[in-house]
Structure 1
């Protein structure tokens, strides 16, 4: 069991750890959001079909899924700090390594290796945040951190558009490696070891597998672990596929594409700011109830745009912005619910969550890519509808029960 952390005064000094962590998270996320709009240039450079473009994101997510089961248990045994710093340095090395790729296959292999940092963040870094702060402090800190990391999809398309027009995509990875190095220096100075020596679990491989089995067979955990990804699916599809259907499909310029991202990511930022402001005043989970109607409204507006194609661009942007706002209100709380739903060591629980979410996103993006080639935007919208309805049917009742318990 995880010992309960003592309340910490949230001052600049005590926030240096999550601040450095947020900058590393920003570097990892911009490693996707900057690259996606530049992928059309990458595919041209390698002389391959533009259909490879969305695969860059699914390869990135696949890398996270492949090592998700390793990071958490390893940090349970060695400590969060040591494992996180080692994985962060590996990410920097992979960002430099991709500069020397000679084919699209080599490029995608390096994207897979870079993607290991995604679950390093969720399986080790987020667990450290949850262990370092109290319940409401952890939700507040993660919401505030998210507003730094959301600069990735806000700045990424703009920088990617510049790379398409003026410079090589290689410089993007140089910038990511530099930002990551700055963040790792801050983490080296300020990241505490949240897992005490007496709490570390020296387990055999069989013991670790048994822990995973216990976690993954816990129905409430699985439902809650997939709740966030289900709600976030439309935004993830937007990030992965919007360079294709906005630039190639709807004929937007690189600059117009970059501008179209601002209201969507603005919705996420506003949602996270609202959570940080409300989390002390409402029962934990209430913001999910408030956010879900915005998600439903967004999906409906997107569907109306597909019915009346003359309004499709505005419907996509407005609908996705509402969905993003609802996700911002919900994601941090859903993560906390899932992490605390199992008594198993939190590194293993966080690793199982990362495994489920990264696999879900990677498969979902590839399936949606196929749906888009067959049915265009209708295919993207249908997948989004299925994800939101699955959340409503499987996850929402458990969230309501969590809120009821919090009020008792």
Structure 2
């Protein structure tokens, strides 16, 4: 069945044009929920009397919970269908956001963040699986790139939205907005998004079957090469995202409304990379595009270290040129990396995306706890760590190219 026939078979004709937007909104709920509370950190610290290190738990608790549950969202969608998993997870996300809004203690706020993390992956992970269910080849790359472009807006606009909400109300308003976002996504999914995983293609909902699917994915050597290439590539960028409060406020000496200084150029560059990815579909191979992307991330890592080691280390725009080039390279490479990974086990696409996302989240969560607090003592420390991580991603991609060259 062609791409057009697949879409026509499952999607209401009048809503086909809205499907990419809804998928992108579902995909962006994960990163949006990480960054929106950043501007509220000083207010939360003052209200609950916590330290800067404890505030970082607002990010870490969310990421660890997201990672822990992410391994199950995809397999569940392979068994139950895509729509039930998306709708159920977004509904729980809305409830969790409400719990954060009315949390009377810092501990209960963290509990709400854990519940947010456990549920947000259903939208973020399964929405990408839907893309490959419906589209193939160049059209799949274009749509994945388009979704990645809109997805890239989330980290850029999230702290801006958070800062804007603080101008009209208390910090609780940030989480109340997330309740509203969850409600909008539930309605959009019900009205626009079709079920793309037919009953005939589903696997039994049994623990053994879920484990078997995850094991089948984990046994693929190509999965590890591609997944770790994507994990390290995005990990270098997330080093700045997860440490944004330290980088922007402590190192650059800016305020709670100035997170855009980092996020707009870095995420804007990622969006440009996604635009390039979508508009070169069919004009160059995915392998060439990904190689160019990883070259850009390496160049960005080197330039970032160069500026961080100079007297311009905390001056704008020099301090954000390196992170922006890393974002550009990720935007070019990541959509194709995800499509290549999804095609490794076509009957277990949900499990593939869950495993891939699990690696990304675990790495980023561990980095947020064990790496960021130590390297973010200076712009040079951050830049050196980012360079090492981008180099690891490029090595994994080079390994994959070497391992698959004989098949070309």
TM-score exceeds 0.5: yes
Contact map agreement 1:73 1:351 (CA 8 A) in 2: yes
Question: Which one of the candidate residues 88, 97, 109 is aligned to 1:107?
Answer: 109
CA displacement 1:111-148 (0-9 Å, x = unmatched):
12111344213432211111011132222112112232
Contact map agreement 1:211 1:344 (CA 8 A) in 2: no
The equivalent residue for 2:309 is 307
The equivalent residue for 2:354 is 351
Q: Secondary structure at the match of 2:312?
A: helix
Shift in Å, 1:164: 5.0
Structure 1 position 342 matched with structure 2 position 339: no
Give the distance between the partners of 1:47 and 1:389, measured in 2 at CA. 40
The equivalent residue for 1:131 is 133
Give the direction of change, closer, same or farther, for the CA distance of 1:190–1:159 in structure 2 (3 Å limit): closer
Give the distance between the partners of 1:59 and 1:4, measured in 2 at CA. 43
Structure 1: unaligned runs, 5 residues or longer: none
Pairing of 1:33-52 with structure 2 (within 5 A): 33-52=35-54
The equivalent residue for 1:150 is 152
Contact map agreement 1:129 1:138 (CA 8 A) in 2: yes
Give the direction of change, closer, same or farther, for the CA distance of 1:18–1:223 in structure 2 (3 Å limit): same
Give the distance between the partners of 1:367 and 1:62, measured in 2 at CA. 13
Shift in Å, 1:400: 6.4
Give the distance between the partners of 1:320 and 1:198, measured in 2 at CA. 45
Give the distance between the partners of 1:118 and 1:140, measured in 2 at CA. 25
Give the distance between the partners of 2:172 and 2:331, measured in 1 at CA. 32
Contact map agreement 2:313 2:380 (CA 8 A) in 1: no
Shift in Å, 1:161: 2.9
Give the direction of change, closer, same or farther, for the CA distance of 1:315–1:367 in structure 2 (3 Å limit): farther
The equivalent residue for 2:379 is 377
Structure 1: 4+ residue segments shifted above 6 A: 9-12
Give the distance between the partners of 2:250 and 2:167, measured in 1 at CA. 15
* TM-score, normalised relative to structure 2: 0.90
CA displacement 1:184-227 (0-9 Å, x = unmatched):
21110121111111111115312321222222232221221122
Give the direction of change, closer, same or farther, for the CA distance of 1:372–1:102 in structure 2 (3 Å limit): farther
Give the distance between the partners of 1:52 and 1:68, measured in 2 at CA. 24
Shift in Å, 1:31: 1.6
Give the distance between the partners of 2:138 and 2:404, measured in 1 at CA. 15
Give the direction of change, closer, same or farther, for the CA distance of 1:399–1:43 in structure 2 (3 Å limit): farther
Give the distance between the partners of 2:191 and 2:161, measured in 1 at CA. 30
Contact map agreement 2:248 2:262 (CA 8 A) in 1: no
The equivalent residue for 1:53 is 55
Give the distance between the partners of 2:247 and 2:124, measured in 1 at CA. 29
Question: Which one of the candidate residues 160, 163, 171 is aligned to 1:161?
Answer: 163
The equivalent residue for 2:322 is 319
The equivalent residue for 1:23 is 25
Shift in Å, 1:352: 1.4
The equivalent residue for 1:197 is 199
Contact map agreement 2:375 2:385 (CA 8 A) in 1: no
CA displacement 1:62-87 (0-9 Å, x = unmatched):
12111122212211111111111111
The two structures, once aligned, show a CA RMSD in angstroms of 2.5
Give the distance between the partners of 1:166 and 1:175, measured in 2 at CA. 12
* TM-score, normalised relative to structure 1: 0.90
Aligned length in residues: 403
Q: Secondary structure at the match of 1:303?
A: helix
CA displacement 1:376-407 (0-9 Å, x = unmatched):
334323331221121122223314666885xx
CA displacement 1:125-176 (0-9 Å, x = unmatched):
2111110111322221121122323222222222333345553121112222
Shift in Å, 1:279: 1.2
